[in-house]
Structure formats: structure tokens, C-alpha cells
């Protein structure tokens, strides 16, 4: 089946400056996603969508094609849907499905991607989407809002009776999203009854959002590469 990989890499980042090209064990962060996609040997195109000439040059050096975004897709108001829509329309829907690989998941490998592709294609007539997930750190019973009065009124549960091991809950880990282009344009997200789960472990699910995530990802990458034990 014809498929493309889309790697979104906006240069502006409020949490971590130039997050998508931060150095991790001698490589810019985005390189790990590009190299994983290249190693799959399954994609018609591997496209990095960016607003940065610098990011574009780095992406091309590691084997990706680059699509430069318009200004309206390069600010904080630009959504993932808007970025994917831009790529999908510019390629005239000329493929069976696309795979979104966010650069903030450096421990996601070509093996994970290939497993997800195989699972999706094995159920291609039943599902329009696939989302990678990990087992949730906390069960939904333990995640509730706290209002301005500071009380725990929303935690209206006897936690002495809570047994996490009795059931498992999952959360998206941000590593792999798959969608059929027309279905995605209609749905505008990857979730729902027509979406299939691909389960990953906690180690490979690391997603870099802040400084602590970055430091932890660097440590885990060193462990993975055998730099530390």
C-alpha cells in the first residue's frame, strides 16, 4: 500500500527553545524520527513540515523531503489537523494512508513503526486510524480536577478499595498516529470507534515536552546505546 510519513517540526517552542533540534547523544532530536522512517523502507515520501530553513537543512541531511509552511501554520494557534491538512492537500491525496511521527519521541524505532503498519494494514477494512498508546501511569479514578476552593470533592471514591492491578487503562503516547487521508479530513482527529490501538512500553514511549523530559530522554538514550548501564 502507498503510504507517506509526516514529521511536523515548527521552530517556535515556548517550553524548550528549538526543542525539535536539541542534541541527544550527538544528533538533533528530529533525526531520530527521520532515521526510523527511512529504516522502515516502506514510505513513498518522508516529509518534514517546518517553517525553518535551518530545520529544513537538517531534515534533508538525514534523508527527508521538506515542505515549508505558510505563516498561518507556524504560530501557536496552528493545530496538528491544520498541518496535516496542508501536506495532504498539497500531495493531492495520492496514497492510501499517512503516518504522523512527532519528533519528540526519539525512542520510537523503525521496528515500532513497522509493527504498527502491519497491524493497521491487517485491519485496513475495519479501521481508519491507529494510535500508539502506553499503559497509563495512573488510573482515571485517580486523575480529577481541583477547583478554586482547593477541596478533593471530585475524588469521591474509597481508594482503600482501589485495585489498579484488576484492570488496565491506556493513554496516547504521541509516538505513532496513522490515518486514511479522507477519513482524517472528515474526522479531524485520530480517535474513536474506527481507531485501533498499538501498545508500546513506557521506556520507548518517552515524549519530550519540557526540560525534565529532555534530561530523562538523554539518560534513556545513553542507556539504550550502551553508553551507560
pLDDT, mean of each 10-residue run, the chain (229 residues): 96 85 97 98 97 97 96 83 94 95 98 98 98 90 89 80 72 98 97 98 96 96 90
Cell of 200: 508500546
Q: What is the pLDDT of residue 163?
A: 65
201 found inside a domain: yes
151 found inside a domain: no
Q: Are 88 and 125 in contact (CB under 8 A)?
A: no
Q: Are 129 and 194 in contact (CB under 8 A)?
A: yes
Residue ranges of E strands in the chain: 3-9, 23-24, 27-28, 45-50, 65-68, 97-100, 129-135, 170-179, 195-199
59 found inside a domain: yes
What is the domain-level CATH number for residue 99? Answer: 3.90.550.10
150 found inside a domain: no
Residue with cell 479531524: 188
Residues of the domain holding 14 = 3-142+159-225
Q: What is the pLDDT of residue 193?
A: 97
The number of folded domains in the chain is 1
184 found inside a domain: yes
Cell of 124: 485496513
DSSP symbols for 39-90: HHT--SEEEEEES-HHHHHHHHHTT-EEEEPPGGGSSTT--HHHHHHHHHHH
CA quadruple 81, 89, 40, 216: dihedral sign: negative
| Cα 35 from Cα 56, distance rounded (Å) | 15
Q: Are 10 and 18 in contact (CB under 8 A)?
A: no
* Orientation of helix 53-61 relative to helix 29-40, angle to 10°: 40
Q: What is the pLDDT of residue 73?
A: 84
Question: Strands of 65-68's sheet, edge to edge?
Answer: 65-68, 45-50, 3-9, 97-100, 170-179, 129-135, 195-199
154 found inside a domain: no
| Cα 113 from Cα 35, distance rounded (Å) | 12
Q: What is the pLDDT of residue 167?
A: 72
Cell of 37: 522512517
202 found inside a domain: yes
| pTM attached to this predicted model | 0.94
136 found inside a domain: yes
Amino acid at each position: 500500500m502507498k503510504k507517506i510519513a509526516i514529521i511536523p517540526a515548527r521552530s517556535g517552542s515556548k517550553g524548550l527553545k528549538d526543542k525539535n533540534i536539541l542534541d541527544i547523544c550527538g544528533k538533533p532530536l528530529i533525526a531520530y524520527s527521520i532515521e526510523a522512517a527511512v529504516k522502515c523502507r516502506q514510505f513513498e515520501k518522508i516529509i518534514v513540515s517546518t517553517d525553518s530553513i535551518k530545520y529544513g537543512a537538517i531534515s534533508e541531511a538525514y534523508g527527508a523531503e521538506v515542505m515549508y509552511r505558510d505563516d498561518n501554520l507556524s504560530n501557536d494557534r496552528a493545530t496538528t489537523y491544520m498541518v496535516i491538512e496542508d501536506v495532504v492537500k498539497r500531495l493531492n491525496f495520492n496514497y492510501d494512508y499517512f503516518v504522523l511521527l512527532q519528533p519528540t519521541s526519539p525512542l520510537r524505532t523503525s521496528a515500532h513503526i513497522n509493527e504498527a503498519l502491519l497491524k493497521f494494514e491487517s485491519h485496513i477494512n475495519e479501521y481508519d486510524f491507529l494510535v500508539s498508546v502506553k499503559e497509563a501511569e495512573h488510573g482515571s479514578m485517580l486523575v480529577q480536577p481541583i477547583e478554586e476552593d482547593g477541596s478533593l470533592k471530585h475524588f469521591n471514591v474509597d481508594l482503600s478499595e482501589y485495585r489498579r492491578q484488576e484492570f488496565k487503562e491506556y493513554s496516547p503516547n504521541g509516538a505513532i498516529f496513522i490515518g486514511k487521508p479522507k477519513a482524517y479530513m472528515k474526522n479531524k482527529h485520530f480517535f474513536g470507534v474506527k481507531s485501533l490501538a498499538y501498545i508500546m512500553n513506557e521506556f520507548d514511549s518517552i515524549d519530550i515536552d519540557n526540560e525534565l523530559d529532555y534530561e530523562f530522554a538523554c539518560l534513556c538514550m545513553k542507556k539504550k546505546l550502551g553508553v551507560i548501564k
